[in-house]
Amino acid sequence: GAVVSQHPSWVICKSGTSVKIECRSLDFQATTMFWYRQFPKQSLMLMATSNEGSKATYEQGVEKDKFLINHASLTLSTLTVTSAHPEDSSFYICSARDQSGVGYYEQYFGPGTRLTVT
Amino acid sequence: AQSVSQHNHHVILSEAASLELGCNYSYGGTVNLFWYVQYPGQHLQLLLKYFSGDPLVKGIKGFEAEFIKSKFSFNLRKPSVQWSDTAEYFCAAYNQGGKLIFGQGTELSVKP
């Protein structure tokens, strides 16, 4: 099956700094990628939809100036957490939609990135 | 708002017991429903999906789910669980905006 990778798998940063997380579709092209956030023992909350070549669309309540998304190519989307604070500590998961088929577009998930802000 | 809900937060079973995890969605019309599994330390994997046709869907690892339109439900079942089924299970659905939304998740612990 299709593979989605994320880098880094975990990162620790100091409060006030920025952190960039990469999401790559390894063997398919993805015009649409999604960023989710998962708190411990909780569900995945959709943060934003990343569209190749255009601006990301953010879900209600997600600060677009804090969570910068860039989808510069058909295989790469990045999420930058700017001026990170301890409350941004979480598990961030990306997903890429394989639109090569007909009709149904399957979403594949990356392994996630654990962010800890100290 | 469209939503997906899972009623069981944590289920504990012994090996060989039968499993049923509940999932309900809040809206009518065309629905695309999924069950995902997240093993400890691993990424989400698709267990099965329903788009149309036979409401009884068979997935990987012996799992199946039944779509009951009148009950807005899509429960996950397995006749005999194994210790290796210990994981977090998520029900999900595409909302009318084409975005995948998830239920709260159910943690399954299988005792050997």
Quote the minimal CA–CA distance from A111 to chain B in Å.
4
Task: Provide, for chain B, the percentages of residues in helix, strand and coil under a 3-state DSSP scheme, each rounded to the nearest 5.
Answer: 10, 50, 45
CB-CB neighbors (< 8 A) of A4 in chain B: 43
The pLDDT value given to residue A106: 79
Is the pLDDT assigned to residue B39 strictly greater than 70? Answer: yes
CB-CB neighbors (< 8 A) of A110 in chain B: 43
Q: Which of B43, B45, B90 sits opposite A43 (nearest CB)?
A: B90
The pLDDT value given to residue A104: 65
Share of chain B above pLDDT 90, in %: 73
Is the pLDDT assigned to residue B43 strictly greater than 70? Answer: yes
Is the pLDDT assigned to residue B23 strictly greater than 90? Answer: yes
DSSP A35-82: EEEE-TTS-EEEEEEEETTS--EE-TT--TTTEEEEEEETTEEEEEE-
Q: What is the b/e burial string over B61-99, where b = at least 16 CB atoms within 10 angstroms of the residue's CB?
A: eebbbbbeeeeebbbbebeebeeebbbbbbbbbbbeeeb
- Residue numbers in chain A where pLDDT is lower than 50: none
CB-CB neighbors (< 8 A) of A107 in chain B: 100
Per the CB < 8 Å rule, is B99 touching A49?
yes
Taking residues B56-62, what's their average pLDDT?
A: 95
CB-CB neighbors (< 8 A) of B48 in chain A: none
Q: A with B: how many residue pairs have Cβ under 8 Å apart? A: 36
Taking residues B3-12, what's their average pLDDT?
A: 93
- Whole-angstrom CA distances from A67 to A34, A49, A114, B106 are 13, 12, 15, 28
Read off the pLDDT of residues A51-85 as tens digits, 9 standing for 90 and up.
888 899 999 999 999 999 999 899 999 999 999 99
Quote the minimal CA–CA distance from A104 to chain B in Å.
9
The pLDDT value given to residue A31: 87
Measured between CA atoms, the residue of chain A closest to residue B100 is: A46
Per the CB < 8 Å rule, is A112 touching B102?
no
B57/B51 Cα distance (integer angstroms): 10
